[in-house]
Amino acid sequence: MDLLSEYRAKLRTADEAVKIVKNGDWVDYGSNNSYPAALDAALAGRRDELRAVKVRGNLLQGPLAVVECDPEADHFIYNTWHCSAYERRLCDRGRAFFTPMVFRNMGWYYENFLTTDVAMISVAPMDGEGNFNLSGAQGAVCSIVENAKTVIVEVNAALPRIGGESPRLPLDKVDMIVEAEPHPLWEMPTPPASDIEKKIASFVFPHIRDGATIQLGIGGVPNAIGELIAGSDLKDLGMHTELASDGYLAMHRAGKLTNRRKSLHPGVGVLGLAIGSRAFYDWLDNNPEIEGYSLRYVNSTPVISQNDSMISINGCLAADLYGQVCSESVGTRQISGTGGQLDFVNGATAAKDGLSFLCMSSSFVDKAGVRHSRILPRFGGDIVTTPRSEVYYIATEYGAANLAGKSTWERAEALISLAHPDFREELIRAAEQQKIWLPHNKR
C-alpha cells in the first residue's frame, strides 16, 4: 500500500477515533502544543458512556474539556507530570493530581511501570517520506507513543516542524489520523525582567565564557541573562536545553548563539520542548540548526555532561539553611514540578568546566503587603526539588554562593548572606538553635 492510500485508510473523525476508549483506560495527551483539542472535545462528549478513564498530560494551557465537563471526576481523572498555571488551579480544586518525576526518567516510567491504552497527540502534517512531526513537544511524547497500545494523531498545520530524528513519527506507528481545524498555539513570550531579576542575573553572568553551552529555564532571571548575553561581547554560545523559549531567539538575533564550539552536537542547538512567542515558533520551523530529542536523551546526566562549559540556569522558590532547594511547591501546594532541574544540576556539575545556578529573589511580598523570606531556617512541608548534596550555586539579588563541599555552618553563613537584610538576624538565631552557626561567624 502506498503512503497516500495508507494515510486515507487511517483517517477518522474525532468522534469515531475516541470510540476506542473504554472504561478504566489510561489515555495520554501530548504535552504543551501537542495537546489534541479536537480529540479532547470528542472524548468529553462521551462522558456519560464512560467511567474512571484516567488521562495524563503536562504543561497544558487549558481548558481541558474532559476536566471541565466532569466536576466530580466520576468519568475522567486528570493527572499531570508538570503543572502549567491552569493545571495548578486544577490541583488547587482537587480536579487534577500531580505525578512526581524527573524528566530523564520518562521513558523508563513508560517502559516499565505505566500503561497507555490510547495516546492522543497533535502533530504537524505528514511529509513526503511518511513522517508526522512531533514539533516542540517530542521530549515527553516520544516515550508515550513508543509504548501506547493505540496511537491517534490529530493533525495541526499550525505546528512548527522541528529537525532531527526524534520528532519524526512514521505513519506505520500511527493507528488513526484525525484532520482537525488548526488550533492556535500556546504562545508564552518571555516576560520582561524586573530590576531584582536583572540584579540576580548580574551575579551569574560573569561566570559565562565564550563557547559555553547554555541551558535556560523559563522566567525573569533567564530572560535577564539572555539580555545580558545579547548585549555582551560573548561569542559562539551553544544550546542544550530541556525547554527552549524566546531567550534563545534573542541570543540568536544578537549573533551569540552559533553552536559552533559545542563538544556535543557541534553546529546544532538541542531541545526537548519548546514554548514561546509566534516569532520563536517561526524561527524553529524547518530550522536545520535546531534539533529535537526525547527528554530521556536531552536530560540524561551522561549526555549533558558531554557539553564542555555547560552552564545550567534555573529558577527556584525557596532554600533552607541546609542548602535544600524547593522549586515546585509552596508548602504542600503544587506549583509546577521537578521537571528537569535536578537533571541539569547533575549534568552541568559533571561537565568539564560546568556550572549550575539556582536563582530566586531573596524575599517576596504577599497580597497583604507582608514581606517573607525565601531563605528559611528549615523546610516544613515544602517539597525538596534539589537535595542539599547536589546543589552548586544559589543566587539572589545579594550575590551568588557556591555550596559545593560546604559544611552546615558554612552553608548557613553563605545563605544568610544571600537573604534579605530584614531577615538575617532572625535566620542567625535559627541557625544557632539548629546548631549550625559558629559564635564568630560573620554578622
Residues 6+ apart with CB under 8 A from 440: none
Continuous H helices in 149-286: 195-204, 220-230, 246-253, 278-284
- Crossing angle of helices 424-433 and 408-418, in 10° steps, is 170
**Of 154, 242, 328, 397, catalytic:** 242
Measure the CA–CA gap between 296 and 384, rounded to whole angstroms. Answer: 22
* Exposed/middle/buried for residue 3 (C-beta within 10 Å: 0-12, 13-18, 19+): middle
* In contact, 222 and 250? CB cutoff 8 Å: no
**Closest Cα partner for 209 from 231, 224, 229, 239?**
229
* In contact, 102 and 342? CB cutoff 8 Å: yes
Measure the CA–CA gap between 435 and 185, rounded to whole angstroms. Answer: 52
Catalytic residue status for 197 = no
Q: How many CA atoms lie within 13 A of 86 on its CB side?
A: 15
Which set of grid coordinates corresponds to residue 416? 544568610
* Exposed/middle/buried for residue 336 (C-beta within 10 Å: 0-12, 13-18, 19+): buried
Which set of grid coordinates corresponds to residue 370? 507582608
Q: How many CA atoms lie within 13 A of 310 on its CB side?
A: 27
Active site positions, annotated? 242
